[in-house]
């Protein structure tokens, strides 16, 4: 993928295309077109360290699909808060949830201006879907935003999604405090889905090596990216009960025959789980 001739015309106002953004790096992994040369450079570097990073991205979206379908179809959840929602792609949360229940309400939250610009155009396609700016490091700003608080009913079960976003919150930015605040609004019956970069340590030495290298690349080039331990990631669920099969590699979370994705090398580098408020 070299320079694209019409690239400058696609840059929305106020966006610096020379500074890479994780939303656009991830868009590149998924085969999207909303990325620039600087994003592709970081992505190509990541692919040298983890050649199956594209498969990891696809496995991530497949998990999201299964988790949202479970929440809507089996748990009967009718409202979702998708934090760090990313650029619109195939199988967005509202499409999955509203295929089960057309009245399901979705709020997408992200702090990337490109995501917000594209999101408003492509995701706010009906009056039960909203796109709101917000930073997960500042939960009050999101939870107390009238657009969110009046659209969602926190006294009823909510599907809260942190899919591949928490690992972009650094240790000194208080991810524990933020998660405690987000969990505090979850009524009984609510579900919390988390996907997180994982360093499995001695249990999988090759994956642990990839985690260290990938963390270096992301921090040098994007300024964020933490491959955390299982204990650290489990702590984000607080006192919620993990539903089966628990916190596992993406592909092992209730995988369906139609989304078998070969993600071998980095299998233990990204884990996923869903917790339920009893």
Q: Toward ligand SAM, which CB reaches closer, 96 or 201?
A: 96
Q: Which residue is nearest to ligand SAM (CB)?
A: 86
**Smaller CB separation from ligand SAM, 26 or 227:** 26
On the CB side of 88, CA atoms within 13 Å amount to: 15
Distance CA 223, CA 195 (A): 19
Q: How far is the CB of 238 from ligand SAM (least distance, A)?
A: 19
Least distance from ligand SAM to the Cβ atom of residue 173, Å: 8
Answer for the pair 123, 95: CB distance below 8 angstroms, yes or no.
Answer: no
Q: Which two tokens stand for residue 72?
A: 């809507």
> Mutual orientation of helices 37-49 and 22-29 as an angle, nearest 10°?
60
Residue whose pair of structure tokens reads 């692919």 in the numeric block: 47
Residue 157 CA to residue 243 CA, distance in Å, equals: 16
Residue nearer to ligand SAM on the CB measure, 84 or 249: 84
H/E segment holding residue 21: none
Looking at the Cβ atoms of 40 and 205, the one nearer to ligand SAM is 40
Smallest distance, ligand SAM to C-beta of residue 170, A: 10
In a 13 Å sphere around the CA of 157, the CA atoms on its Cβ side amount to 18
The nearest distance, CB 202 to ligand SAM, in angstroms, is 27
Q: Which residues bind ligand SAM (CB under 6 A)?
A: 22-23, 26, 60-61, 64, 84-86, 110-112, 115, 135-137, 163-165, 168-169
Contact in structure between 120 and 131 (CB atoms under 8 Å): yes
The nearest distance, CB 161 to ligand SAM, in angstroms, is 7
The minimum distance between CB 24 and ligand SAM, in angstroms, equals 9
Q: What is the token pair recorded at 197?
A: 């970069």
Choice between 19 and 241, CB closer to ligand SAM: 19
Select 79 or 82, whichever has its Cβ closest to ligand SAM.
Answer: 82
Q: Are strands 191-197 and 270-276 parallel, antiparallel or unpaired?
A: antiparallel
Give the integer Cα–Cα distance in Å for 95 and 230: 31
């Amino acid at each position: 993928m070299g320079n694209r001739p019409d690239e400058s015309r696609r840059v929305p106002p106020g966006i610096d295309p020379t500074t890479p953004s994780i939303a656009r790096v991830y868009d590149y992994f998924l085969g999207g077109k909303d990325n620039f040369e600087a994003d592709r450079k970081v992505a190509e570097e990541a692919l040298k360290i983890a050649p199956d990073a594209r498969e990891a991205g696809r496995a991530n979206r497949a998990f999201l699909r299964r988790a949202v379908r479970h929440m809507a179809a089996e748990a009967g959840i009718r409202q979702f808060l998708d934090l760090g929602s990313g650029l619109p792609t195939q199988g967005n949360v509202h499409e999955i949830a509203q295929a089960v229940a057309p009245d399901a309400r979705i709020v997408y939250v992200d702090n990337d201006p490109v995501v917000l610009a594209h999101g408003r155009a492509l995701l706010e396609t009906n009056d039960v879907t909203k796109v709101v700016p917000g930073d997960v490091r500042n939960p009050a700003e999101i939870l107390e935003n009238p657009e969110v608080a009046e659209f969602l009913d926190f006294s009823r079960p909510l599907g809260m999604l942190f899919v591949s976003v928490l690992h972009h919150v650094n240790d000194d930015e208080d991810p524990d405090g933020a998660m405690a605040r987000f969990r505090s609004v979850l009524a009984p019956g609510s579900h919390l889905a988390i996907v997180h970069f994982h360093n499995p340590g001695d249990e999988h030495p090759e994956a642990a090596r990839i985690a260290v290298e990938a963390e270096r690349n992301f921090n040098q080039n994007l300024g964020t990216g933490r491959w955390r331990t299982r204990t650290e990631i489990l702590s984000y669920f607080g006192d919620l009960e993990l539903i089966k099969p628990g916190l596992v590699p993406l592909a092992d979370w209730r995988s369906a025959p139609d989304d078998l994705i070969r993600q071998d090398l980095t299998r233990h580098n990204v884990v996923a789980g869903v917790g339920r408020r009893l």
